[in-house]
Amino acid sequence: MRNLFMLHGKKASNNIIIILTAILSFMLIVSLFSSETVRATEQSTTDKVNSEQVVDDYGAAVYVIPVEHTIESGLTAFLKRAFKEAEEASAAHIILKINTYGGEVTSAEAIGKLLRESSIPITAFVEERAVSAGTYIALNADKIVMQSSSTIGAAAVVNGSGEMIESSKVISYWVERMIEAAKHSGRDPAIAVGMVDPGFELELSEIGKQKRAGEILSLSHEEALTVGYSDQTLESVEAVIQWLQLDKRAVVEVKLSPAEKVARWVVDPYVKTVLLILGIAGILIELFVPGFGVPGIIGLLSFILYFFGHYVAGFAGMEAIVMFVLGLVLIVAELFIPSFGILGITGGVSVIAGVVFAAGNPMSAFISLLIAFVVAIIIVIIVARTNKGKLVWNKFILREKLTTEEGFLSAEVKTSLIGKEGITITKLRPAGTIEIDGERFDVVTAGEFVDHHKTVIVTKAEGTWIVVRELVK
């Protein structure tokens, strides 16, 4: 049994060592990546020219930066990197190509602040749409140019299901942010309110439009131009640059690096929840089912993707990764070192802290972790039920029955004495000693007393018990 435990403990330890080695290797790669690859990306994208090229005979360059798809924390990190590049290159102008249905309010606020604090003039070029959070971002730019057939507005706050939030507190907060953005660019704040508050009524006589209660205001490119929410209608970035009289300048189009594309995908709330489910379930299944296989690889890759994405997005520091790895080490140690749960609890807290602090929104990450844990436990239970014979703890359980039928005898079998007669050597009260065929046996009666030198007969023999009764002749 001890050898079996040592053998399986060794297999489990090997699996654990492989997992932890891979995670530590990942930490090293991330560290090198952040100091070399990411830094190189910050200094040179596919379409970026170096600082010597930026300042040519015609002056500083124009930076073109895309604001596309969902507004979320990954996009915020990318824009911070892009604006930093533009600042370092002393760019003449920044053009934001906006095409989005909106996204997270917190991310939109962070991007709006980034625009307001920039010392470089900014023009928002709306391609197709700048809806919801996209409108807020556009209003924080110095100029707005819209493509024909594009729209702007419909900036009401909605929940994850796309349903409008009716909380007056939430609406009031977002109204204030929109008013602030509209005033920043010298535009009518009342129109900004109409884009957010469904209860607000507004008459727009310039375009023959009335915003009634229950409606959310949205403007076409023509309407926006008429009411001052657009400064020009143009069809391309090149046309915008020419309109700005910067067509002689070098143009730097900043693009998402491969790592940033992964980061934008990973930080999505739904994606990170799925990664946490796969990570937790994969590691637990690997610990309970011997052999380093597919579940362990999937779990390991899921956690690597989670931390890599949040690291590249600028949210996860090395301390979050260290906390996570330390937590795993403590949880594994609990399996081998009796600590009355201290190591396991400490490790669990450390793992949770690592996952939560790695995210841009700790509360969102905590909720994702709770959901992932519940789903992962269900998956582990299902796998455990379908692989009962393969579970690690089965190797430590003695399942063989030591029965007489299997040839195991716990004591000398005395059933052959049944029916034999003997003489009592001592009184049976009700236990005593008798002699059968010259051999002494300890016996008992069914309760009656028998005097010595009496004849008795064996009626039952079970284990070490021999039951007799007095034989009356």
Alpha-carbon span 145 to 237, nearest angstrom: 10
Minimum mean pLDDT among 19-28, 216-225, 311-320, 412-421: which range? 19-28
Task: Please state, in angstroms and rounded to a whole number, the distance separating the CA atoms of residues 129 and 150.
Answer: 5
* pLDDT of 43 above 50: no
6 — pLDDT class (breaks 50, 70, 90): very low
Mean pLDDT of 163-177: 80
Of 59-73, 250-264, 331-345, 397-411, the range with the lowest mean pLDDT is: 397-411
Longest CA pairwise span in the chain (Å): 136
Euclidean distance between CA atoms 163 and 170, whole angstroms: 14
Give the pLDDT confidence score for residue 15 in this predicted structure: 52
**What's the predicted TM-score (pTM) here?**
0.61
The residue among 460 and 261 whose pLDDT is bigger is 460
Mean of pLDDT values over 36-61: 45
At 13 the pLDDT is 47
Exposure string for 213-223, b = 16+ CB within 10 A, e = fewer: eebbbbbbbeb
Q: How confident is the model over 335-386, as pLDDT tens digits?
A: 777 777 788 788 888 888 888 887 767 777 788 888 888 888 888 788 777 7
Q: Which residue has the higher pLDDT, 121 or 394?
A: 121
- pLDDT mean over 131-158: 88
Q: Kindly calculate the radius of gyration of the chain based on its CA atoms and give it in whole angstroms.
A: 39
473/47: higher pLDDT: 473
Instruction: Supply the pLDDT for residue 46.
Output: 38
Provide mean pLDDT across the span 389-405.
51
pLDDT, residue 295, reads: 77
Q: Which of 162-166, 340-344, 348-352, 388-392 bottoms out in mean pLDDT, i.e. has the lowest?
A: 388-392
Q: Tokens in use for 439?
A: 């051999």
Inform me whether the pLDDT recorded for 145 exceeds 80: yes
Residue predicted with more confidence, 42 or 246: 246
The pLDDT of residue 199? 84
Q: Is the pLDDT of residue 422 over 80?
A: yes
What percent of the chain lies above the pLDDT cut of 90?
Answer: 16
Residue 337: predicted pLDDT: 78
Confidence of residue 8 (pLDDT cuts 50, 70, 90): very low
At residue 200, does pLDDT exceed 70?
A: yes
Q: Which two tokens stand for residue 375?
A: 């789903």
Q: Which residue has the higher pLDDT, 288 or 34?
A: 288
pLDDT band at residue 406 under the 50/70/90 scheme: low
For residue 4, what pLDDT is reported? Answer: 36
Query: Stretch 53-61: mean pLDDT, rounded?
Result: 57
Where are the domains positioned within the chain? 2-37+261-395, 46-256, 415-470
Is residue 58's pLDDT more than 70? no
**What is the average pLDDT value for the chain, to the nearest integer?**
77
pLDDT of residue 248 exceeding 70, the answer is yes
pLDDT of residue 197: 85
pLDDT band of 2, cuts 50, 70, 90: very low
Fold of the CATH domain 46-256 = 2-enoyl-CoA Hydratase; Chain A, domain 1 (3.90.226)
| Residue 309 scores a pLDDT above 60 | yes
Residue 239 has pLDDT above 90, yes or no: yes
At the fourth CATH level, which superfamily is domain 415-470? Nucleic acid-binding proteins (2.40.50.140)
**Crossing angle for the helix pair 258-266 and 73-88, to the nearest 10 degrees:** 150
Considering only 5-19, 369-383, 416-430, 437-451, which range has the smallest mean pLDDT?
A: 5-19
Give me the mean pLDDT over the 445-466 stretch: 85
Phi–psi pair at 255, nearest 5 degrees: -120, 160
